[in-house]
Amino acid sequence: MAQSREWTRLSGEHRALIEEFQANESVAVGALAQRLGLRIKVANLGPGNSGQISRNADGGYIIKVNRFEAKERQRFTIAHEIAHFLLHRDIIDASPEGIRDTVLYRSGAPENIEYQANRLAADILMPRGSVERRLGELGGRVSEGVIEVLAQDFKVSKGAMEIRLQNVAA
């Protein structure tokens, strides 16, 4: 099954880099960010804020992740901010604050860019082929138990895996 249209918009170089990190079910998303030249900082972003990507003083980019969120949520937030970096750099550069995402991954920017970042984040953390293969190994039927195992395998929340499975089946 094909990846999202956001995946197809990436350069071949970016796709190849991400695929290097997808060799394991648990994508080392922090290391991926570093290879892309992004710094990650775990910070107190205040209630309701999951993450932010912006330019820093030296002209590079920094991803801030809310320290009070679950590790699985932080991983998705990092992937989501990487997606903004790859797809929406012009929007990041247009504001000193860059893009700040709430817990619902809404930034105040047009909603379609948040949907795009969510789809690409899912492609990064839960590649369709890997999810389909692992689902097959678990019997091919979706159940609460299977969702839980897959979420643990890919180190994402159950909710993220549930949504991914709906999209894989579509």
pLDDT in tens, 118-142: 999 999 999 999 999 999 999 999 9
Bridging pattern class, strands 99-102 and 49-55? antiparallel
Q: Which residue has the tokens 């689902």?
A: 135
Residue range 100-107: mean pLDDT, rounded = 53
Query: Which of helix, strand or coil describes residue 6?
Result: helix
- Contact call for residues 52 and 64 (beta carbons, < 8 A): yes
Q: Does domain 5-126 have CATH number 1.10.10?
A: yes
- Residue 70 confidence (pLDDT): 93
pLDDT, tens digit, 9 for 90 and up, residues 26-63: 999 999 999 999 999 999 988 888 899 999 888 899 99
Quickly state the pLDDT bin for 1 (edges 50, 70, 90). very low
- Residue 57 confidence (pLDDT): 86
**What's the distance, CA 101 to chain centroid?**
12
pLDDT, tens digit, 9 for 90 and up, residues 58-99: 889 999 999 999 999 999 999 999 999 999 998 888 887 777
Which of the residue ranges 20-24, 101-105, 114-118 would you say has the lowest mean pLDDT? 101-105
- Residue 153 confidence (pLDDT): 96
pTM of the model: 0.89
Count of CB atoms situated within 10 Å of the CB of 1 = 10
Residue that wins the pLDDT comparison between 166 and 13 = 13
- Residue 103 confidence (pLDDT): 47
Q: What are the sequence ranges of the domains in the chain?
A: 5-126
